Amino acid sequence: MSKILIIEDELPIRANILELLEAEDFEVLEAANGQEGVNLAKQHQPDLILCDIMMPILNGYEVLKLLQEDSETAIIPVILLTAKADNLDIRRGMQLGADDYLTKPCTPDELLQAVEMRLAKQQALKARYVQAIAHVEEQLNHHLNYDGLTALPNRLQLREQFDRLTQKLGATGLVTVLYLGLDRFHRINETWGYAFGDRLLQALAQRLLSWVKPQKFIARIYDDQFALILADRVTNDEIRELVNFLGQSFRIEEQEIFISFSIGIAFYPDDGAILDPLLQNALLAMRQAKLLGGNQIQFYNPNLSLNCREYLVLETDLRSALSRNEFELYYQPQLCLKTQQIVGAEVLLRWHHSQRGLISPKTFLPIAEEIEAIFPIGDWVLETATQQAKLWQQFGNPEFRIAVNLSARQFFHPQLCQRLTQILQKTEFNPQCLELELTENVVVQNPEVAIAILGSLKDLGFKVALDDFGTGYSSLSYLQRFAFNILKIDRCFIEQIACDAKNKALTTAILQMARQLELQVVAEGVETPEELDFLKQQDCDLVQGHFICPPLSAPDFDNWLRQNSSVSVLDFSLESLPEIR
């Protein structure tokens, strides 16, 4: 039953309207003046108000103004009743919020028609409001339970699915939780852009959905991380099927791309009775897989919790290591076999932790890459090394060069050339004396982009070395395509070269190939006179290793350089080394 409020100061008119509306089964309220009418409107929230204009205390216009000032009464439709039919009066009422206008006297049919029309419009408006609210609630519910980018369920929805599944399976049921993390996904974003990365995630989500079967649930947990729940204990065949399925190439914007995954696995109820600790334990296993190089599967065990705590502590300390001046550069000299002079040095980073002592780069550099600390650390290395090398150039060799390693994240950073240029301008260092070392595994991640970056570096005057040659893909086609200046032979080929015919043949072949490609060759890890003698006979350009000199701090290297700026490779021995701090 609709509720109508009559605000009319003339009793006969008010009584007639009251009788007419009650005869039509409306619930009717009445007020004898404007102030009483406003109070009743706020108290009872009628569906419609019939209001006279000319009244004592508050007239109809003042009533409209007060109703519009209240958010609850502002939506109530109002029909004005008046003997004044002037257009200015009608316009004034409409501007104040009136919905209709009836001129007194009016017939019962005119009044009822106006009332029914206004109530019908109000009902239609309410229906639209209800529909709009329901739509908003549906969207809100979807946002609360599903990922906006991939439309996959999120953690909240996964928890509901997990609870239903465990209740259905009972106390003896088994559930497998798989935590999937994309390997090196940040490099895809850095190389092709975030929009490309988003489209790849969407394509991956569709592929995962196509693999999910009854009693298997998938969710996107965070950025490039996904979770799968499987009823029962996962089998080796299922894992193999998933890995092979996800390992197939994706085509995004006409670009074919392959991705690999690190997968951590935990089991209900052995590794957790509810979802959150199970996900946390599967995540620990996934991180362990990443630390081991990625593209593999690890099962959760309690020791991982300790390793993770250790990892997080190390990560926290690494973030402040630069500001605490805990990093130090060491320099390993490079000897030219033709001139018997020290012509440069490779720069090596050391972390002297205040409590843990010396921490291996193999331990902290992967963490630095993951948390993006590699960028400020890398800038510090370049600035410090070029400042130091500038001093050694002034010592007597203006062409003294330094070799600095670049990680994959540094190399593929969109502002690499800009950062290098800014640092060298600051230190006033000649780019032709800076050698940037890259491993094969870096450049083959995205050959086309790598070729473009190497071309830009060459245009700026930098020399680029292919480090650890022979330990990765070692494809001759890569040497032909990439703009390298220097080839560094890995220690594994130099070791025991005097008595290992295979290593001797491989090293000889690499040197001959490098000469054909007009590449300078640096042999790493020279530790015996026999190795040095063989490399000299094969016309190797440069050598470095403990037999020449181990890595030294800047002050020790400075002292050593002053004593050994020109040495005889025939008479050189470790006895020429100063005492190392």
Q: How far is CA 241 from CA 62, 206, 262, 406, 495, in A?
A: 76, 16, 15, 36, 42
The answer to whether residues 342 and 565 touch, using CB atoms and an 8 Å cutoff, is: yes
Q: In terms of Cα–Cα distance, which of 225, 207, 250, 260 is closest to 147?
A: 225
The pLDDT score that the predictor gives to residue 578 is: 41
Residue 477's pLDDT is what? Answer: 63
Looking at 301, 317, 344, which one is the last position of a domain? Answer: 301
The list of the chain residues with pLDDT below 70 reads 84-85, 305-306, 470-478, 564-581
396, two tokens: 């007597």
pLDDT in the model for residue 278: 93
Q: Quick one: 491 and 525 in the same domain? A: yes
Q: What is the pLDDT of residue 43?
A: 93
Write the DSSP assignment of 448-475 as a string of letters.
HHHHHHHHHHHHTT-EEEEEEETSS---
pTM of the predicted structure, to 2 decimals = 0.59
Answer yes or no: do 160 and 70 share one domain: no
Please give the torsion angle defined by the CA atoms of residues 316, 321, 322 and 325, in that order, rounded to the nearest 10 degrees.
160
Measure the N-to-C terminal CA separation of the chain; round to a whole number of Å.
Answer: 96
439 and 373 in a single domain? The answer is yes
Q: How many domains does the chain have?
A: 3
Domain shared by 189 and 214, yes or no: yes
Residue 441 lies in a domain: yes
For residue 101, what are the domain limits?
Answer: 3-142
CATH number of the domain that residue 448 is part of = 3.20.20.450
Give the integer Cα–Cα distance in Å for 425 and 233. 60
Q: In what order do the strands lie in the sheet with 261-268?
A: 216-222, 225-231, 175-182, 261-268, 297-299
Same domain, 125 and 188: no
- Taking the C-alpha atoms of residue 399 and residue 492, their distance in angstroms, rounded to an integer, is 30
Q: Are residues 182 and 291 in the same domain?
A: yes
Contact 406, 349 (CB under 8 A): no
**Is 321 part of a structural domain of the chain?**
no
358 forms beta bridges with 352
Q: What CATH number does the domain containing 104 carry?
A: 3.40.50.2300
The pLDDT tens digits for 70-87 are 888 988 999 988 876 677
The length of the chain is 581
